[in-house]
Chains A and B, each alone.
Chain A
Amino acid sequence: MLLTTLVFLPLFMAGVLLLVPNEKVLKPMALGFALVEFVLSLALFLRFDPGLAGLQLVERSAWIRSAGIGYFLGIDGISLWLVLLTTFLTPITILGAWSAITKKVKAFLIAMLVLETTMLGTFVAMDAILFYTFFEASLLPMYFIIGIWGGERRIYATLKFFIYTMVGSLFMLLGIIALMFYAQDQLGYMSASLVDFYKLQIPFVAGEFLSTQTLLFFAFSLAFAIKVPVFPFHTWLPDAHVEAPTPGSVILAGVMLKMGTYGLLRFSIPMFPEAASYFAWIFLLIGVVGIIYGALVAMVQPDIKKLVAYSSVSHMGYVVLGLFAFNAYGISGGLYQMLNHGISTGALFLLVGMIYERTHSREIARYGGLASAAPIFTILFMIITLSSIAVPMTNGFVGEFFILLGTFMSAKGYALFAVTGVVLGAAYMLWMVKRVFFGEKGELVKKYESHGLDVNWREILVMAPLVVLVFWMGLFPNQFLRWSKASIDHLVENRLTYELPVVGVPSNPSSYVVQRAASASKAGE
C-alpha cells in the first residue's frame, strides 16, 4: 500500500485543508503535510531493492475489467528518483511561496497538493490509461496555478500551455487504444498494462512511415516531446514560465517537464524499439538543436525568468540526447540530468522569485551591482549557477558528462555539436550573472537597497536543501546512481526485446511473472 498512500495522501490532505477555516494555519499545515509526504517517500529506500531490475512495490486491482484497464502501480529504478524529486520539491515550493502567494491561499495550497498527487501518479502508474489520467489531470491544477496567481498575460499563457499539451496527449490516447487492441490480438485479452504492452510485437517496416510501429512511436513521442519540450514544440514554455507564479514555475520546470522525458524512456524507447532505433537520429538531432538553440536564445533574453526558461530547453535537450544514445552512460546521465534540472532550475526560479518580490522587475538591464547589496543571495545564486553550467563537483557535471560520453560512444557527430553547449551554457549564465550582480549598482538596486535586498532566514531555509543536494549529488553520485543501475542496465541490455519483470507476490498471479532479471541478480552481487 505504500505507493497508493504516497500518491493519494496529498489529495487527502488537500481535502483536509478544504475544511480548515483558519487562514493563518493553512500554510504551516500544507508545509507540514508536504513534509510528512516527503518523509514517507523516504520509506521507499527501505522497501526498494536496488539490486532488482523489475517493477517493485506493485499494487494491482481491476478497474474496468472488460477493457483490461487496471489500477496498477509499481516502481523501478527509473521512476524511484522522479517520485523522490516530486516529494522533495513540493515542500520546498510551498515554503518558497510563503510570501509570493497572498490571495486565495487555500485554493493555491489545495492546487499544489492535488498537483503532487497527479505527478506522483504519473510516475508510478503502470497502466496506460491510469498513466494517461494522471498525466492529463496534472494539467488542471497547473492551469489554475498559472491562470489565477500568474502575471498579466496569464490567460494567454495558460491557454497556450493547455492546448499545446492537450493536442499532443490526444495522439497518445489514440496510441494507447491501439495498443490495447494489439494486446487483445496477440495476448488473447485486452489490457492497458505496460507490462503487457512491452510483450507486444508491433509490425515495423524500415523506411515506411505508415508502418504501425512508426505511427505509434510518433503518436506517443509527440505527446512527450511537447511536454519536455523539445525544439520546435517549446514555445509554450517561456510564456508559461514568465506568467506563472514562482511556485508554478518551480514545479513546472522541476517536475512536470520530466513527465515528458520519463514518457520517452518508459513508452517510446522500450515499446517501439525498432522505430526508436530507426528514428533515433531525429531525437538526437532535436536534442542537439535544443541544446544549442535554447542556449543561444537564452543568451539574448532581456528577462531573467525567460532566460531561465530557455535554459530549460537547452538542459532538457541534453536529457533527450542522453536517452536516445541507448547506452547506460547516456540513459544514466539523462536520468541524472532530469534530477539536476529539477534542482538547479527549480532553485533558479525560486531565486528569481525572491528578488522579484523585492524589486518587482526581472529586467536584466535594470539590475547591476546586486552582489554588494545582497551578498548571501549572490552566493546562493552563484552556487546554483555552477550547478546549472555543470562545473565538476556539482550535480550538473555528472549528468552532462555521462550524457556527452554516452552520445559520443554511440553517435560521435552529435556529441561534437552537443559539446558546444558546455561553452554556450557558461556564456548565457555568466553573462547574465555579470550584468545582474557585478558592475556599478543599477537602477533597481539603488532604489530598493534600503529595503533590504538580501534573503531572509526562510529563504535560506528554502535554498539550503537544494544547495546541499547540488554538492551531495556532485561529490557522491554513486549513492544515487546505484539505485537505478539495475533498471537501466536491464533496459540497455534488452532494449530490443524489453520486458519489465514484476517483483513480489502479485494479487492476481495468473497475469504476471515472478522473476529476478538475470542482470539484476548480477548487479546485486
Chain B
Amino acid sequence: MTTNILFAALLLAPLIGFLFNGIRYQSKNCLLAGTVASGAALLSFACSVVLVYQLAHLPVESRALTAHFFDWMTVATFKVSAAFLLDQISAIMVLVVTGVGSLIHIFSVGYMSHDERPSKYFAYLNLFLFNMLLLILGDNLLVMFVGWEGVGLCSYLLIGFWFTDREKAAAGMKAFITNRIGDAGFLVGIFLIFATFGTVTFTNLISLLPAAAEVGWTGPITLACLFLFVGATGKSAQIPLYVWLPDAMAGPTPVSALIHAATMVTAGVYMMVRLSALYVLAPNAMMVVAIVGALTALMAASIGMTQWDIKKILAYSTVSQLGYMVLGVGVGAFMPAMFHLMTHAFFKALMFLGSGSVIHAMHEEQDVRKMGGLRKYMPITHATFLIGWLAIIGMPPFAGFFSKDEILWNAWNLPGAGKLFWLVGVVGAAITAFYMTRLMALVFWGKSRVSSHVHPHEAPPSMAIPLIILGVLSLVGGWVGIPHVISAILPGHPENILGHWLEPALARLPHEIHGSALLEWSLMGISVGVAGLSAWFAFDSYIKHPDRPQKITAKIRPVYELVNDKYRVDELYFGRIINPLVDISKGLWAYIDVNFIDKATYAAADLIKSAGGGIRAIQNGNIQHYALMVALGLVLLIVFAL
C-alpha cells in the first residue's frame, strides 16, 4: 500500500505543480512559481529515492515494484491499465530524470527571473516531468506511449515558449510533427506486438518471448522492433528524423538541458533497452539500429565541428551522443547504453546549463565568435564546463570515459561488422574531442572578443549550485560502472555496481564477450589517445594558430559548406517532400474537389434539368398542341394496326 502511495506522490507531485502554476499562469512571481515547481520535482526525486531503496532490498529474482491504479482502456481482449512498474531499468531512469530534473528546475528559477511569464514556464516544465515519469514507469507500451506523446507535446510548448517569434513557433511545430512521424511508427509497433502476442504489458510480453523464440517467430518480431525503432528515431533524434532537435534550441536553455539533452531525447534508447528481450530475437533489426546509430553519431559530430551557435554545437553533440547510445543498443550493449544515457545526462545537462549561464551573462548572445576569454569572468561556469568537456571527450576518470568505452568495447566484440562500428565510434570520438575543444577555446579561453557593451558576470547561486552538483556527477558518475580490467588494478577492486544492478533485467546477445585484458587496454588506449590528439589539435588550431582553421576551410570550401549547411537535409525535406505535398494538396483541392467532383455534380444536375426541360416541352398547356398530339397518336396507332 505504501508503495502505491509513493508511486502516486511521485507521479502526482509534478501534475499538481502543473495545475498550481497553470491556473495562475499570468502571475509574474518567478520565485513562487519556481519554488512550487522545484518543490514538486524534489518531492518526486525523494519518492523515487525511497522507492529505489525499497527496490534494492528486494531479492534479485523478484526485484520489481508495481502499482495498479485503474483500468484505463478495455475493448475485447485489449486491456490496459494505468499501472506502473519500477524495476532495475526504470529505477536508473527515474533517478536521473527526477534528480537532474530537479536541478534544472532550480537553475530555471534564476534563469527565468526576468521572463514575462515564469508561471507558464514552470507549469510546462512540471507537466513535462509528469509525462516523462509516465513514459519511464508505465508497465505497458500504452502508458509509455501516453508519456511518449506527452513529452512531445511539452517539448512543442516549451520550444515555442516565446511564441511571438515566428521562427521559434515554427521550431516547436517542426519538433511535434517530426516526432509524430516516429509516433506513428511506434503505434504500428504496438499493433504488431498486440497482434503477435496478445498483450502490451512489458512483463507479460517478456514472459511470452522464449516460446516465440522457439517457434522462430522472427518475422513479426523483427518488424515490430523496426517500427518501434522508427519511434525511437523520432524521439531520440536519429537519422532520418533528427532534424527537429537542432531547431529545438529555440526554447529556453534550461529546457534544452532537460528535455533536449538529458531526458526526453533518451526515451528511444530507454524504450529499446526496456525491450531488450525482444530486440535480441531480431538480429536484423539490431543491425539496422546499429548502423543508424553509428551513422548518426558520425554525421552529427561532423556538423558540430562547423557550427557557431553555442547551443547548436551542443545540440549536434547531443544527436551524436544519442547515436552512440543507439549504436550501443544495436550491438547488444544494453547496459553500456543505459550507462552512457546516465553519464550523458549529467555532463550534457551540465554543459547546456553552462551554456545557459554563458548566454545569460552575454545578454542572450549565442555566437561563439563574439565570446572568448570568459574564463576570467565566470570561474565557476568555466570550471564546471571544463569537467563536462573532459567527460564528453572521454578522458579518464571522468564519467563519459567509462560509458563510451564500454559501448566501443562491446561494438568491437560483435561478430561481423563489430570492428567497423568500433572504428566509426573512435572516429566519432576524435571529432567530438575536436568540436568540444573548439567550443571551449572559442568561449572560455584565448582573447576576449566580447563586445564592449556586454559585461559578462558569474551566475547567481541558484544557477551556480546546480552546475557544481552536475560537475561532481560528471566526474564521479562513471565510477559506478568501472570495467573489470580497470577495477582489477585499482585498490579495493570496486565492483561494477551498475552492471550487476542491470544484469538480471537485460537480455543478452548469444555471442560471448571475450578478449584479452591486453586487447581491452589497447583499445581503450587508442580511443583515449586519438581523442587526446584531436583535442590537442583543436586547442593548437584555435588558441595558438587562430588563422589555421580559416586556411583549412578555404582549401576544402565545398565540403566545408556542405557540412556547415548540415548536409542540406532540411532543404531536401522541404524541397522534395513538404513543399511538393503542399502543392499536391492545393492541386487536389482545385482539381478534384472544385473542378472534378463539383463540375461532375453540376453536369449531372444540368442533364436532369435539360431532360426535364425536354419533357416539359410536351406539357406546355396549349390545347391545340395536345389535340395535335392526340391526332398524331391516332394516326400512328392506325399505321401500326395496319
Contacts and interface: CB of A to CB of B under 8 A. Distances in A.
A235 B163 contact: no
Interface string A378-414: 0000000010000111000110011011001100000
Interface string A296-331: 110111000000000000000000000000011100
A434 B170 contact: yes
A54 B170 CA distance: 52
Given A393-B150, A405-B191, A431 B73 contact: no
A478 interface: yes
Interface of B: 25-26, 70-76, 78, 145-146, 149-150, 153, 156, 160, 163-166, 169-170, 172-173, 176-177, 180-181, 183-184, 187-188, 191-192, 194-195, 581-582, 584-586, 588-589, 592-593, 597-598, 601, 605
B73 A300 contact: no
Contacts of A386: 153
Nearest to A425: B180
A163 B165 CA distance: 47
B161 to A, nearest CB: 11
Identify the 6 closest CB pairs spanning chains A and B, nearest first.
Answer: A438-B169, A296-B585, A439-B166, A328-B76, A392-B146, A408-B191
B145 A392 contact: yes
Nearest to B581: A296
A481 B75 contact: yes
B127 to A, nearest CB: 11
Given A391-B149, A405-B191, A297 B184 contact: no
A215 to B, nearest CB: 20
B599 to A, nearest CB: 10
Given A296-B581, A404-B191, A419-B188, A327 B166 contact: no
Nearest to B178: A423
B592 to A, nearest CB: 8
Given A423-B180, A427-B177, A439 B164 contact: yes
B75 A402 contact: yes
Contacts of A392: 145-146, 149-150
A434 B173 contact: yes
A300 B598 CA distance: 18
Contacts of B149: 391-392, 397
A300 B153 contact: no
Given A392-B145, A430-B156, 7 more contacts: A296-B581, A297-B588, A299-B582, A375-B25, A393-B150, A477-B72, A478-B74
Contact of B597 (A232, A397, A422): A232
Given A235-B598, A427-B177, A431-B173, A420 B184 contact: yes
Contacts of A232: 592, 597
B169 A434 contact: yes
B207 to A, nearest CB: 22
A37 interface: no
Contacts of B584: 296
Given A300-B586, A405-B191, A423-B181, A478 B71 contact: yes
Nearest to A299: B585
A431 B176 CA distance: 11
A430 B589 contact: no
Contact of A423 (B26, B76, B184): B184
Nearest to A327: B76
A494 to B, nearest CB: 15
A430 B146 contact: no
A415 interface: yes
5 contacts: A391-B149, A426-B176, A439-B163, A478-B74, A481-B73
B593 A297 contact: yes
Contacts of B71: 478
Contacts of A422: 180, 183-184, 187
A477 B191 contact: no
B184 A440 contact: no
A39 interface: no
SS class, residues of chain A in contact with chain B: helix
A333 B191 CA distance: 14
A282 interface: no
Contact of A405 (B70, B153, B194): B194
A437 interface: yes
Nearest to B166: A439
A17 to B, nearest CB: 37
Contact of A235 (B75, B582, B601): B601
Contacts of B156: 430
A430 B75 contact: no
B75 A329 contact: yes
Given A386-B153, A415-B191, A481-B73, A426 B169 contact: no
A369 interface: yes
A300 B184 contact: no
B76 A163 contact: no
A438 B191 contact: no
Contacts of B592: 232, 293
A441 B145 CA distance: 36
Given A404-B191, A426-B176, A235 B593 contact: yes
A393 B11 CA distance: 15
B177 A371 contact: no
A120 to B, nearest CB: 27
Nearest to A488: B75
| Central interface residue in B25, B149, B582, by most chain A CB within 10 Å | B149
Interface in A445-481: 475-478, 481
Contacts of B166: 438-440
B588 A296 contact: yes
B121 to A, nearest CB: 14
A517 B533 CA distance: 79
Contact of B75 (A332, A397, A434, A440): A332
B465 to A, nearest CB: 34
A416 interface: yes
B177 A430 contact: yes
A296 B581 CA distance: 8
A372 interface: yes
A375 B150 contact: no
Nearest to A423: B180
Given A404-B191, A481-B73, A235 B177 contact: no
| Central interface residue in A293, A393, A438, A440, by most chain B CB within 10 Å | A438
Contacts of A439: 163-166, 169
Contacts of A371: 163-164
A478 B176 contact: no
A76 interface: no
A59 interface: no
A426 B182 CA distance: 13
A127 interface: no
A371 B165 CA distance: 12
B588 A478 contact: no
B78 A329 contact: yes
Nearest to B71: A478
A335 to B, nearest CB: 10
